[in-house]
A and B are shown apart, each in its own frame.
Chain A
Amino acid sequence: MTQSAFATDVGISYWMWDGNQAPVYRKCADKFEVANPGIKITIKQDGWENYWTTLTTGFVSGTAPDVFVNHISKFPELLANGVMVDLTKGIAADKVDMNAYMPGLAESWNKDGKQWGLPKDWDTISLVYNKKMLADAGLKEEDLRNMTWNPDDGGTFEKVLAKLTVDTNGKHGDQPGFDKSKVAVFGMATNPADGYGQTEWSHFAASAGFKYIDKPWGTKYFYDDPILAKTLTYLRDLALVKGYSVSQEQAGKLNGSAVFAAGKSAIVPDGSWMINSYKDNTPFAFGFAPLPSGPMGRRSMFNGLADSIWTGSKHQAEALKWVEYLGTSECQIVVGKAGVVFPARPEATEVAKATQLSRGIDVSAFTLLATPATTFPFPITDHGSEISSVLKTAVNKVLLNQGDPAKILKTANDEVNAMF
């Protein structure tokens, strides 16, 4: 698979799941190969669904890549299975500056003083909105930026959604005669919710004070917290009782982005990794606005990917060089220039922002929230996959109105905590 110009060339394989990023990292690889003759990088990309299966069978059959992109939700399992190389000594010896990244990123990949991945990029959530629909409802961007929310009456957020929702007779949600069973355009669309709600409900719950777990790598989940039940009930009724947002039953596999692109909703909360997808598939002017402020302020889930090395790699020294290069300003700026993701280094993020601006897209709504005070991490504990499955079912049931939210959540929470 690796074309070597010289018999002594070392081949390093690098796997990732985001197709948008592969050509960009190829550019980094070309630069790296010039600076490091004798090492050749091959990049392979496999979609999210297949990625982890292929990686696991690779670990088993000995065909796993030397370096691979890692996701925080898999971190505990991979650590427990001993398939990642401890990078601590290597990066200390090469004097890699771990403070050069956005705060919180390097730490999330560190356990008990050992570093298991080098930060690669980060993402947050913001609201994607249809510019024309906003104007038609008599609203301005400031109105979106200044939205407040609370789980009791929905704050100004709900009022805005009401204005943006239109039924088939042209009546807006805040006008008399509005028929919630005949909605033509929803105020807000959403993806089918999962157990962690990264784009669907995490920001609402967190801004109301919800905490997922006691601490990173903890052993106690708090899904029985009444705040969560209240938040999910609010979201459920926003759709089923008020009709301002798409209900779980209407949230098909095509995701909120498709509903938005079809002009059937005015707003969609989504992640920064989707920026280019929106650009390609949305035939009208759209923008990004920051999430509404809840009782505790604005909160977005903050996630950071990292590059890790496989313990079975036959060229760990070269793999480390590549991983370190991926974390350098030079490479991350190349990535930033492509505007595909927000690289982990702040200066590279600025470059990404500028690129998007040159394409006519203002992504400051995402960067605004990328501060330690306004973000919370993806919850990581052992048994991640099983827990995620149980929680997803519970959240689905609540949003589908299949029972008393408090009861459903408590049962799930007990089941999850019993795994420890």
Chain B
Amino acid sequence: MASQEAGSLASKQRSEHDERRKAMPESVVGYLFVAPALFGFFMFYLVPTFRAFQISLTDWNLLRAPKFIAFANYGTLFADPKFWDSVRLTLGYVAYNIPIQTCLGLLIAVLADRMAKSVLLRAVIIAPYLISNVVAVLIWLLLLDPLLGLTNGWLEFLGLSREPFFSSPGQAMLSVAGVSIWRHVGFTALLFYAGLQSVPRNLYEAANLDGASEARMFWTITLPLLRPVLAFVLVTSVIGSFQVFDVIAVGTQGGPADSTRVILWYIYENAFKFNKMGYASAISMVLFSFLIVVTLIQMRALRAGHSDLD
């Protein structure tokens, strides 16, 4: 960087001829800027991923030497009904989790932005996120317990029927989604809130003068300008959603009766409980490829690379 400082000083006194010889071509600077991150990416993401792919081609139980079996694991998994069940469960989870979480988050952010800008409110919004997933699930297990939970106590008080929540195959997945939404809505709302702050206020003022309603302003001004942030939120929450794990690990362990055995839990079971590392890695590779495709589609659909301000 020192040479760049010297270069910039010198450039002020340069003649036109010298101007063509800039301090450093932008491409090199670009690489310098991303170098540390790229190094981290290489060492801790890329190499381990290749290693994981390698493992997926073996039969390995962590304790004895791995046995090379080429693509046999992939063959097994395509024929494995438990794998397909886990895919179905995960897709279902993502399908109710994402729309609810995103819309709620957006709603809260807009309400907070337009109606009650206060630091206290923002602290409350983020409060659930402060608690780790593990603790959040424990508290919700207590709250939603079929016999001892506060929620059922209140439902009964209101004359409604008690619900089994985590203990019933029919409601377990929904309960897991509920806990996850509880924890992440605030996070999502904060992201949107940050995005809302970068919408120039004068656009709202002008629209107000034109007599536009709040709803109209939202659809025609806020939403389009939020596109990069919306893209970011959707992409990251979809990816995160496919990898739901903590809540299930602590709350249901894949049950009851396998009703919450999502993909990541099935991978974990195979890797750490059944000691089938090769098989677990193969499933992860499939999940990974799927997520890449999903994200590319999303990014393209949302044109996340451009802001409407341009």
Q: Which A positions have Cβ atoms within 8 angstroms of B?
A: 53, 56, 59-60, 77, 81-83, 192, 246, 248-254, 258-259, 262, 264, 385-386, 389, 392-393, 396-397, 400, 402
User: Which of A56, A83, A250, A254 meets B142, CB within 8 Å?
Assistant: A254
Most buried by A among B63, B142, B272: B63
Contact A249 B274 (CB under 8 A): no
Smallest beta-carbon distance A181→chain B, Å:
9
Contact B169 A56 (CB under 8 A): no
Contact B168 A389 (CB under 8 A): no
A53 to B255, CA, bound (A): 20
Q: A249-B168, A251-B167, A400-B169 are in contact. Are A192 and B256 (CB under 8 A)?
A: yes
A392 to B62, CA, bound (A): 25
Contact B257 A402 (CB under 8 A): yes
Contacts of A250 in B (CB 8 A): 146-147, 164, 167
Q: A56-B272, A254-B142 are in contact. Are A393 and B147 (CB under 8 A)?
A: no
Taking CB as reference atom, which chain B residue is nearest A392? B255
Taking CB as reference atom, which chain A residue is nearest B145? A252
Q: Which B positions have Cβ atoms within 8 angstroms of A?
A: 61-64, 141-142, 144-149, 164, 166-169, 251-252, 255-258, 269, 272-275
Nearest 5 interchain pairs by C-beta = A81-B63, A396-B257, A252-B145, A249-B164, A250-B146
Contact A385 B273 (CB under 8 A): yes
User: Which of A264, A400, A402 meets B147, CB within 8 Å?
Assistant: A264
A251 to B64, CA, bound (A): 39
**Could you count the A-B residue pairs with CB atoms below 8 Å apart for me: how many are there?**
80
14 pairs from A and B in contact (CB 8 Å cutoff): A56-B62, A82-B64, A249-B167, A250-B147, A251-B146, A252-B149, A252-B166, A254-B141, A254-B142, A262-B147, A264-B148, A393-B255, A396-B256, A402-B169
Contact A258 B148 (CB under 8 A): yes
A327 to B38, CA, bound (A): 55
Smallest beta-carbon distance B263→chain A, Å:
16
Smallest beta-carbon distance B139→chain A, Å:
12
A interface majority secondary structure:
helix
Taking CB as reference atom, which chain B residue is nearest A383? B274
User: Which of B141, B164, B251, B257 meets A397, CB within 8 Å?
Assistant: B257
Smallest beta-carbon distance B151→chain A, Å:
12
A223 to B274, CA, bound (A): 21
Contact A248 B256 (CB under 8 A): yes
Contacts of B141 in A (CB 8 A): 252-254
User: Which of B147, B256, B274, B275 meets A259, CB within 8 Å?
Assistant: B147
Taking CB as reference atom, which chain B residue is nearest A396? B257
Contacts of B61 in A (CB 8 A): 81
Contacts of B62 in A (CB 8 A): 56, 59-60
Taking CB as reference atom, which chain A residue is nearest B252? A253
A249 to B273, CA, bound (A): 26
A204 to B128, CA, bound (A): 44
A248 to B269, CA, bound (A): 23
Smallest beta-carbon distance A255→chain B, Å:
10
Contact A396 B146 (CB under 8 A): no
Contact B148 A262 (CB under 8 A): yes
Contacts of B257 in A (CB 8 A): 393, 396-397, 400, 402
Contacts of B146 in A (CB 8 A): 249-252
Most buried by B among A253, A393, A397: A253
Smallest beta-carbon distance B249→chain A, Å:
8
Taking CB as reference atom, which chain B residue is nearest A258? B148
Most buried by A among B63, B141, B256: B256
Q: A60-B62, A392-B255 are in contact. Are A77 and B147 (CB under 8 A)?
A: no
Contacts of A397 in B (CB 8 A): 257
A307 to B62, CA, bound (A): 22
A397 to B169, CA, bound (A): 9
Smallest beta-carbon distance B36→chain A, Å:
28
A133 to B166, CA, bound (A): 29
Smallest beta-carbon distance B229→chain A, Å:
37
Contact B63 A252 (CB under 8 A): no
User: Which of B64, B148, B251, B269 meets A389, CB within 8 Å?
Assistant: B269
Contact B256 A252 (CB under 8 A): no
Smallest beta-carbon distance B200→chain A, Å:
50
Contacts of B168 in A (CB 8 A): 249, 400
A254 to B148, CA, bound (A): 9
Contacts of B274 in A (CB 8 A): 385-386, 389
Q: A81-B64, A252-B146, A258-B148 are in contact. Are A53 and B167 (CB under 8 A)?
A: no
Smallest beta-carbon distance A188→chain B, Å:
13
A113 to B257, CA, bound (A): 39
A259 to B63, CA, bound (A): 41
Taking CB as reference atom, which chain A residue is nearest B270? A386
Contacts of A264 in B (CB 8 A): 147-148
Contact B166 A60 (CB under 8 A): no
Contact A56 B167 (CB under 8 A): no
Contact B251 A400 (CB under 8 A): no
7 new A-B contacts at CB < 8 Å, known A249-B168, A259-B148, A400-B168: A56-B272, A251-B167, A252-B144, A252-B148, A253-B166, A264-B147, A396-B257
Smallest beta-carbon distance B296→chain A, Å:
34
Taking CB as reference atom, which chain B residue is nearest A60? B62
Smallest beta-carbon distance A406→chain B, Å:
17
Contacts of B167 in A (CB 8 A): 192, 248-253
Contact A56 B63 (CB under 8 A): yes
A397 to B64, CA, bound (A): 35
Smallest beta-carbon distance A415→chain B, Å:
10
A385 to B61, CA, bound (A): 13
Taking CB as reference atom, which chain A residue is nearest B163? A249
A82 to B274, CA, bound (A): 16
Contacts of A192 in B (CB 8 A): 167, 255-256
Smallest beta-carbon distance B176→chain A, Å:
12
Most buried by A among B141, B257, B274: B257
Smallest beta-carbon distance A373→chain B, Å:
35
Taking CB as reference atom, which chain B residue is nearest A189? B147
